[in-house]
């Protein structure tokens, strides 16, 4: 009886450990609560996605929902609000990537027993915002770029990895937003009161 009780107890503990799950991460969203709109002196906003997402390693952006370029386009539609009678805003997205790179492991017995950093997640956004105003002949071009990276420990679950990717996307889009606001504030007659 004791001989069979020990393996059954070990099996029960093993199975109960496998049932622990982590909650799925929240989706990345661009909302008007997080990003207030900026009224700009233009009649319309055109968004051009010039970024071809690679589908091979280390790129993992094609696995994200929404796609990183769609996230930038959604941000632009929410924040860059055309409110003028003439003129045009063009946002040309030249890079919207998410990469996951394995980090080298440290050798040694002491490091074998620790939870080392396994991967590095990096999000990069690059875009150009062009403003063409035919009335008065004003024009401007702003280069926008934002990136953020985090490392993930070996013990991370799939939900933990996705949570880190979503956090990176959110921080990078916030960086793009703050840079766009700072650059637009430097230009005359583009931001309307």
Q: Which domains does the chain have, with CATH numbers?
A: 27-186 (3.30.160)
CA distances for 103 relative to 34, 99, 100, 119, 165, angstroms: 33, 13, 10, 5, 16
Distance CA 193, CA 39 (A): 7
How does pLDDT run across 59-95, given as a tens digit for each residue? Answer: 999 999 999 999 999 999 999 999 988 889 999 999 9
SS3 assignment, position 14: helix
How does pLDDT run across 159-193, given as a tens digit for each residue? Answer: 999 999 999 999 999 999 999 999 999 998 899 98
62 DSSP 8-state letter: G
| Model confidence band, residue 131 (pLDDT cutoffs 50, 70, 90) | very high
Residue 125's pLDDT is 98
How does pLDDT run across 133-161, given as a tens digit for each residue? Answer: 888 888 999 999 999 999 999 888 889 99
Q: Cα Rg for the chain, rounded, in angstroms?
A: 23
Q: Please state the pTM of the whole predicted model.
A: 0.83
**Which long-range contacts (C-beta less than 8 Å, at least 24 apart) are formed by 83-86?**
83/39, 83/40, 83/41, 83/42, 83/192, 84/40, 84/41, 84/42, 84/43, 84/133, 84/192, 85/43, 85/135, 86/42, 86/43, 86/133, 86/134, 86/135
Return the exposure string of 75-103: e unless at least 16 CB atoms fall within 10 Å of the residue's CB, then b: bbebbbbbebeebbbbbbbbbbbbbbeee
């Amino acid at each position: 009886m004791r001989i069979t009780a020990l393996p059954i107890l070990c099996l029960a503990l093993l199975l109960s450990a496998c049932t622990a799950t982590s909650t799925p991460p929240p989706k990345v969203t661009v909302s008007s609560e997080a990003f207030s709109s900026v009224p700009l002196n233009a009649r319309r906003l055109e968004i051009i996605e010039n970024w071809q997402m690679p589908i091979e390693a280390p790129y993992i952006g094609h696995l994200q929902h929404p796609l990183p370029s769609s996230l930038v386009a959604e941000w632009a539609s929410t924040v860059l609000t055309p409110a003028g009678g003439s003129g045009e805003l063009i946002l040309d997205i030249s890079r919207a990537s998410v990469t996951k790179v394995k980090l080298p492991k440290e050798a040694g017995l002491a490091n074998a027993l620790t939870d080392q950093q396994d991967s590095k997640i990096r999000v990069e956004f690059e875009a150009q915002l062009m403003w063409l105003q035919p009335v008065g002949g004003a024009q401007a071009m702003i280069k926008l770029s934002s990136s953020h990276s985090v490392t993930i420990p070996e013990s991370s679950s799939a939900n933990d990895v996705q949570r880190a990717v979503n956090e990176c996307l959110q921080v990078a889009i916030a960086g793009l937003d703050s840079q766009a606001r700072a650059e637009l504030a430097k230009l005359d007659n583009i931001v309307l009161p």
